[in-house]
Amino acid sequence: MNPFSIVLLVALALLIVYSIVLYNRLVTLKHNVGMAWSNIDILLKQRHDELPKLVETCKQYMRYEKDTLEAVMRARQAVSDAQQRGDLAKLGAAETQMRLGLGQLFAVAEAYPELRANDNFRHLESRISGLENAIADRREFYNDSVNINNVRIEQFPDLLIARSFNFGPFRLLEFSEPEKQDVDLARLFQ
C-alpha cells in the first residue's frame, strides 16, 4: 500500500469519527430539549393538581367571588389542553390567563382575613407561588436548550449531519408583548 493510500484511509477514518461525534452531539442536544420540556411538563402537572385544592379552600370563604374562582379553573383547563397538545403558542396564552387569574385570586383573598389566616390557604399559596417561579426557571432552561439546538443545526459542519439525519429546529416557548407585561391588579377590580 502506498503512502498516499494510507493518508487517504486515515483521513477517511478521521472524517467518519468526526461525523459520528457530531451526530452524537446533535442527538444529545435533541434529547436535552425533550428533557427541558419534560421538566416544564412536570411542574405544570404539579400546579394543575394543586389549583383545585386552592380553589376549594377559597370557596369556603369566598362565597361571592365565584367568577374569580371559575376564571382560574378555566385557565387551568386551557393550560392543560395546550400542554397535552404540545401547542406552545396556545400554552403561552393560557399561561398568561393563568397568571392573571392567580393574581386576581390572591388579590381578592386579601379582602378575607380569615382566609389569609388559614394554614391550608397559606401553604397552597406558597406552594403555587413556588411552582410559578420554578416554571419560569424551566421555561428559561427550555428556551436555552432550544436555542443551542437550533444554532447548532444551522452551523457548518453540524448542518450537514443535521440535514442528513433530519434533525430539525424546535420552537421557543414565547409570549407576546401584552402577555409579558405586569398585571394591573387595580384595573381588574374597577
- Determine the Cα–Cα distance for residues 152 and 65; give it in Å rounded to an integer: 50
Task: Give tens-digit pLDDT for 81-92.
Answer: 888 888 877 887
CATH number for the segment(s) 10-176: 1.20.1440.20
The fraction of the chain above a pLDDT of 90, given in percent, is: 26
Classify residue 9 as exposed, middle or buried by CB count within 10 Å of its CB (0-12, 13-18, 19+).
exposed
3-state secondary structure of 40: helix
pLDDT given at position 175: 62
- Determine the Cα–Cα distance for residues 185 and 103; give it in Å rounded to an integer: 7
Task: Give tens-digit pLDDT for 128-178.
Answer: 888 888 888 888 898 899 999 999 999 999 999 999 999 999 988 776 555
pLDDT over 80 (residue 63): no
φ/ψ (deg, to 5) at 91:
-65, -40
pLDDT over 70 (residue 10): yes
| Domain locations along the chain | 10-176
pLDDT given at position 71: 80
pLDDT tier at 68, thresholds 50, 70, 90: confident
Quote the DSSP letter at residue 182.
Answer: P
First to last CA, the chain: 88
pLDDT given at position 32: 92
pLDDT given at position 61: 64
- Which residue in 61, 63, 52, 69 sits closest to 105, CA to CA? 69
Instruction: Look up residue 137 and give its three cell numbers.
Output: 426557571
What value does the mean pLDDT of the chain take?
Answer: 81
Classify residue 61 as exposed, middle or buried by CB count within 10 Å of its CB (0-12, 13-18, 19+).
middle
More confident: 147 or 190: 147
Instruction: Look up residue 97 and give its three cell numbers.
Output: 390567563
Q: Which of 21-25, 93-97, 112-116 has the lowest mean pLDDT?
A: 112-116
pLDDT over 50 (residue 188): no
Task: Give tens-digit pLDDT for 35-52.
Answer: 998 888 888 888 888 877
pLDDT over 80 (residue 115): no
